[in-house]
Amino acid sequence: MNWSEQVVLVTGGTGSFGKKFIRIMLDEYHPRKIIVFSRDELKQHEMRMAGFDHPSMRYFIGDVRDRDRLRRALHGVDIVVHAAALKQVPACEYNPMEAVKTNILGSSNLIDAALDAGVKKVLALSTDKAVNPVNLYGATKLAAEKLFVQSNAYAAGTATRFSCTRYGNVVGSRGSVVPVFLRQRAQGRLTITDPRMTRFWLSLEQGVRFVIRAIEQMEGGEVFVPKLPSTRVTDLAKAIAPKAEIEVIGIRPGEKLHEVLVNEDEARHTVELEDMYVIQPAQAMWFGYAWQDKGKPLPEGFRYASNTNTRWLTVEEIREMIRPFEEAHAAQK
């Protein structure tokens, strides 16, 4: 795939993922044009002032809730990365219809606009919280996943293909626990919800590079899941503030003890590769089944969960991953 010939649009392009994705695109892949599609003019201005002002860049004000604006923005676009979402669990619980409008109806709007515009590839970002969801955010992302996978049925006679990536917690992203712990460290006391809690973890750059690889390899209908290390929340606390007092405050509504990236039912139509799992469409309606010959099937009852993972981050590895955020936090003081 020759990225230099592609016009790429990123919904939610001013977010943590969007900025990192665009930086790597500009520095290494040099697409013909790259478009930021987001609803906040201030964030777009700040992004431009921060150096994202390459001649190939365009900034579109728009909301994924607005289908007509998406149709206009997608004119001439080859590849879409769908990163726009309401993702803060408490905010989604308190404003449920807003989460539905952005995460589900916004995804539907993007699918319709991409089909109408003849976009070649659309890759949506999903989350481990979409597996066996216990909160509204996870439920909306599960619905969005289903929309993107099943919409390949509409696209079968056209060039447009839809796929998803699904991965765990991104270190230091907005709303993650790392900035919270860094702020609490100054008081000498960290709050954790449950000492048994585990999470999948990856860096922002790892997430971006996995998305780029998925775009290059997707055929339509797949959900790509990277193999990730797990971390214990207690180890994260030790890495950030080893001498701090720990206060256990109890699990919040909609929070899980452990996260799952592939459940037992999905495992039956999932293949394992060296560094990822590829969840194929549950029904062989169209395409997405060439992965059968590229990987190996999973054993009956397989479940890819953060608490039964075979790869765990040590406290030292966690410190290495969070160092850039510690430095940024120190610089803000």
pLDDT tens profile 117-170:
999 999 999 999 999 999 999 999 999 999 999 999 888 778 899 999 999 888
Q: Give catalytic residues, as residue numbers.
A: 129
Which pLDDT score, from 0 to 100, does residue 330 have?
75
Nearest to 33 by CA among 77, 81, 72, 82: 77
* pLDDT band per the 50, 70, 90 thresholds, residue 204: very high
Let me know how long the chain is.
Answer: 333
Strands (E), the chain: 7-11, 33-38, 57-61, 79-82, 121-127, 161-167, 169-170, 189-192, 198-202, 223-226, 230-232, 245-248, 260-262, 270-272, 276-279, 296-297, 304-305
Percentage of the chain surpassing pLDDT 90?
81
CATH topology assigned to domain 3-331: Rossmann fold (3.40.50)
Q: How confident is the model at residue 113 (pLDDT cuts 50, 70, 90)?
A: very high
Predicted pLDDT at 333: 65
Q: Give pLDDT, residue 288.
A: 54
* Best CA proximity match to 115, nearest among 67, 83, 165: 67
User: Which letter, b or e, does each residue of 85-98 get, where b requires 16 or more Cβ atoms within 10 Å of its Cβ?
Assistant: bbbebeebeeeeee
pLDDT at residue 55, rounded to an integer:
96
DSSP-derived letter for residue 252 is P
Question: What does the pLDDT average to over 183-205?
Answer: 93
pLDDT of residue 189: 94
CA dihedral for 215, 107, 47, 89, sign (positive or negative): negative
Report how far residue 104's alpha carbon sits from residue 146's, in angstroms, rounded to the nearest whole number: 10
Q: What does the mean pLDDT of the chain come to? A: 93
Residue 58 φ then ψ, to 5°: -135, 150
- 197 with 258: CB under 8 angstroms? yes
Q: Structure pTM?
A: 0.95
Q: Is the pLDDT of residue 37 over 70?
A: yes
3-state secondary structure (DSSP) of residue 202: strand
Residue 282 backbone dihedrals phi, psi, to 5 degrees = -65, -30
Whether residue 172 has pLDDT greater than 80: no
Residues 299-318 pLDDT 10s: 999 999 999 999 999 999 99
pLDDT of residue 319: 92
Q: Confidence class of residue 252 from pLDDT cuts 50, 70 and 90?
A: confident
DSSP state letters, 257-307: SS-EEE-HHHHTTEEE-SSEEEE--SS-SSS--GGGGTSEEPPTT--EETT
Name the 3-class secondary structure at 89: helix
The residues spanned by each domain of the chain are 3-331
